[in-house]
Amino acid sequence: MRHLLIFFFVLAVNFASFSQSDQELSSNNTEINLPPIIVKGLSQEITIVITDREIAKIYEGRKVSLTLNGNELERKVIHGKIILDYDFPEKETLSIGIGDIDYQNDVNPIPLWLSILPPLIAIFFALFLREVYSALIGGIWIGTTIIFFYQGAGFISAIFKGFLAIIDTYILNSLTDPGHLSIILFSMIIAGTVGLISKNGGMRGVVNGLSKYAKGPKSGSFITWLLGIFIFFDDYANTLVVGNTMRPLTDKLRISREKLSYIIDSTAAPVASVAFVTTWIGAELSYIQDGINSLNLDESAYGVFFGSLAYSFYPFFTLAFILFLIWKGVDYGPMLKAEARARAELTPIGKLEDEVDADLMEEMTEAKGAKPRMFNAIIPVLVIIVGTMTGLVYTGWNQDTWNDPALTFFAKLSDTIGNADSYSSLLWASTSSLFVALALTLSQGLISLKDSMEAIIGGFKSMLPAVMIMTLAWSVALVTKHMHTADFMSNLLLDAAVSPYLLPSITFIMAAFVSFSTGSSWGTMAILYPLILPAGWLVTQQTGMDYDSSMAIFHNLTAAVLTGSVLGDHCSPISDTTILSSLASSCPHIEHVRTQLPYALTTGLFAIFLGSLPAAYGISPWLLFPAGIIGIYLVIHFLGKPSETYFLNQKNRVSG
């Protein structure tokens, strides 16, 4: 009898709870959430949330009947939510019925093709206005206006609301992201360190220590190349310090101003772009991380960056190209004539030193009375390199990985770095480096604490343009994510039957063109990374490539945007580093551009045809790098001529 009573009691309780739940599922305890931005033709999620916890517990795991636009469906409640995947068609009145809820809402999906307008407008403005900041703002504004217009605002109202959303939604959300804040802090701290070791004479000490080995044109050019590689952590510091310091010596050694400006320009950005601790790495990691986040990939930004180095052909080919020119003592094209003129001891054509930007030069010049000592620069640089690697190993360490005998050392290291907290590692290392630089400065009495702080603040200020570009780039990326630009691009590429194997080469050329036209490699990366990385990945997935092959293309695309931007930067007469190289070496700007262009294009062609293109088809970079370097050597061997021989031939031709 007792068991029978218990059975009826349990049955009654369950019946009461189900009845109660069916009755209580209403608009008072249930919310229906549409996607905040609805795009036509894409499967997006409609979320039905049971807000009452008790009722959510009762419904958990149960199937619930509902209607969607008159069609009857059954969906299971998972974690208090019902997820409906729905392809939004044309403008319609969406109706959902569930329990006693009769939900209706007028929706007007954004046509997917409009999603390309924000980045396209940004590129268009950048090309014609030749100014990156307004171009990025214009791209964001176009996107926000489209979003508000299709959410029901009138045209004028959408323009106004879109303008306000630039700052209160997109820029604000970009700046409050913890990863983005880490990048800004790291970039400013390392710039502060550069400012301090410039003021305390550490940079000058490095230059003085190496320049004493320059005895002739060949050794002088080699020392300049070596300094360009050593001062890898900032391209501006590289250009200004090496250019202004080496110019009197290279004039004495009869190295042309054009050759000096070429060497410093072609070591500055290439080295800064691929070194793993520079003022560039913060922006690069942030763009890569945004691409990873939009695709929900289980990869780290630093892991992708390290993977992309195997495809960064242009920077390494450029460094090898310069070294071969120096080693063989030859040149070709306009540079040959410039070098022949310098060897003939003709007066170098140049501009006055006071034309170098005063503020930038002030930041990179040592303080009066500071003693140039090499170790004051070397020690902080070593701290940041060793500190970053230590932080990566510490935060990514997995004992099981290192105990696995099947993995090679490099596979274990790659796995460790891939799992590491790169942002924390960079912040710890850069802060330690700045502290060490400050301690060295004050302990030797090189400059006062007040001057040290001003030098650090000056370094912070120098990063303001970069921080502005990064912030606007993050905002553009957020707009393109909301509007599903990557889906449009991938569909477009698929419809055009573009092979995923051609994407890296196409991207490299596109990045070079945009960078050439805008004069900004950073601006180019800001525009293209949010567009290319997600679209490229989706194309590889939709064409059936496996994960490893897709990641190889992804790494290649990551490198293509970066290195293509550097190539365009080298060729552009309006590039900031190109202009600074001309000024720092006191070379007429047009002469620098004219003499550098053939060299940059030569290495660019090798980067495509013996780099990005065959690498995409699976040829190992271990084969392509030697092949490209050998090809570059052969071009220099057959086209290059010693400047002295060229000068004598020209002289004999005139006299004859």
542 in Cβ contact with 490 (< 8 Å): yes
| pLDDT above 80 (res 451) | yes
Residues 6+ apart with CB under 8 A from 349: 257, 587, 588, 591
345 pLDDT band, cuts 50/70/90, is low
If you average pLDDT over residues 408-425, what whole number do you get?
A: 71
| Banded pLDDT at 363 (limits 50, 70, 90) | low
Burial annotation 458-476 (CB, 10 A radius, 16+ → b, else e): bbbebbeebbebbbbbbbb
CA atoms within 13 A on the CB side of 254: 12
- Least confidently predicted of 62-76, 224-238, 298-312: 224-238
Confidence of residue 234 (pLDDT cuts 50, 70, 90): low
**Residue partners of 10: CB distance under 8 A and separation at least 6:** none
Q: H helices then E strands: how many in the chain?
A: 32, 7
Kindly report the backbone phi and psi dihedral angles of residue 102, in degrees, each rounded to the nearest multiple of 5, phi listed first. Answer: -125, 90
Q: Are the CB atoms for 520 and 472 separated by under 8 Å?
A: no
Phi then psi dihedrals of residue 451, to 5 deg: -65, -35
SS3 45: strand
CB atoms within 10 A of CB 89: 11
Look-up: residue for tokens 């100014």? 131
Contact (Cβ atoms closer than 8 angstroms) between residue 186 and residue 284: no
At what angle are helices 422-443 and 375-396 packed, to 10 degrees?
A: 150
In this structure, of 23-37, 194-208, 229-243, 563-577, the range with the lowest mean pLDDT score is: 229-243
CA distance 550 to 490: 14
- pLDDT-derived band at 20 (thresholds 50, 70, 90) equals very low
Calpha distance 227→267 (Å, rounded): 9
Using DSSP's 3-state secondary structure scheme, residue 48 falls into strand
DSSP reduced 3-state for 415? helix
Three-state secondary structure call for residue 357: coil
Tokens at residue 425, please?
């590692």
600 token code pair = 């940059």
What pTM did the predictor assign?
Answer: 0.67
Arithmetic mean of pLDDT, 333-356: 66
Alpha helices in 76-233 (DSSP H): 117-129, 132-150, 155-165, 172-176, 178-199, 202-211, 217-230
**Which helix H or strand E contains 19, and what residues bound it?**
helix 2-24
Mean pLDDT of all residues in 56-79 = 82
Q: Name the DSSP class of 171.
A: I
Cα–Cα dist 295/486, whole Å = 10
Residue whose C-alpha is closest to residue 480's, from 183, 101, 112:
112
Could you identify the residue written with the tokens 């001057």?
A: 451
Nearest to 22 by CA among 73, 78, 62, 71: 62
SS3 labels along 280-342: CHHHHHHHHHHHHHHHCCCCCHHHHHHHHHCCCHHHHHHHHHHHHHHHHCCECCHHHHHHHHH
pLDDT in tens, 254-296: 888 899 999 988 988 888 888 776 667 767 877 888 788 778 8
> Distance (Å, rounded) from C-alpha 557 to C-alpha 529?
9
Computed on alpha carbons and rounded to an integer, the radius of gyration of the chain in Å comes to 30
* DSSP reduced 3-state for 559: helix
The three state secondary structure string of 57-72 is HHHCCCEEEEEECCEE
Amino acid at 641: K
Looking at 24-123, which runs of residues are DSSP E strands? 30-33, 43-50, 63-68, 71-76, 81-87, 92-98, 101-107
Query: What's phi and psi for 20, nearest 5 deg?
Result: -65, -40
Range in 204-213, 457-466, 485-494, 551-560 the model is least confident about: 485-494
φ, ψ (nearest 5 deg) of residue 587 = -110, 135
Average pLDDT value for residue range 514-532: 75
Q: What percentage of the chain's residues is helix, strand, coil (to nearest 5)?
A: 70, 10, 20
In this model, does residue 42 exceed pLDDT 60? Answer: yes
Averaged confidence pLDDT in the chain: 80
- H or E element, residue 391: helix 375-396
Nearest to 220 by CA among 264, 155, 165, 180: 264
Pick from 145-159, 203-217, 353-367 the range whose average pLDDT is largest: 145-159
- pLDDT: which is higher, 505 or 399: 505
Yes or no: say if 416 and 410 are a contact pair by the CB < 8 Å rule.
no
Give the C-alpha separation, 50 to 31, whole Å: 7
Query: Has residue 631 got a pLDDT over 50?
Result: yes
Task: Reply yes or no on whether the pLDDT at 132 is more than 80.
Answer: no
C-alpha span between 511 and 505 (Å, rounded):
10
Hey, what CATH class is 24-109 in?
mainly beta
Check: CB of residue 138 under 8 Å from CB of residue 472. no
- DSSP code of 112? G
Average pLDDT in the 612-618 region? 93
Does pLDDT of 351 surpass 60?
A: no
* Residue 343 and residue 217 in contact, taking contact as beta carbons nearer than 8 Å: yes
In sequence order, the 6+-apart residues with CB closer than 8 A to the CB of 654 are none
CA angle 268, 274, 279 (to 5 degrees): 65
Res 647: pLDDT: 55
Which has the minimum average pLDDT: 24-28, 72-76, 203-207, 402-406?
A: 24-28
Query: pLDDT: is 408 or 221 the higher one?
Result: 221
Residue 607, pLDDT score: 95
DSSP state of 277: S
| Percent of residues, the chain, with pLDDT higher than 90 | 18
Q: How far is CA 120 from CA 11, 127, 522, 531, 578, in A?
A: 64, 11, 17, 10, 26
Split at pLDDT 50, 70, 90, the class of 501 is very high
Whole-number pLDDT of residue 573: 73
Tell me the domain boundaries of the chain. Answer: 24-109, 113-176, 180-647
Strand partners, 98: 101
Cα distance from N-terminal residue to C-terminal residue, the chain: 130
State residue 406's pLDDT score. Answer: 76
Q: What is the mean pLDDT of residues 552-567?
A: 93
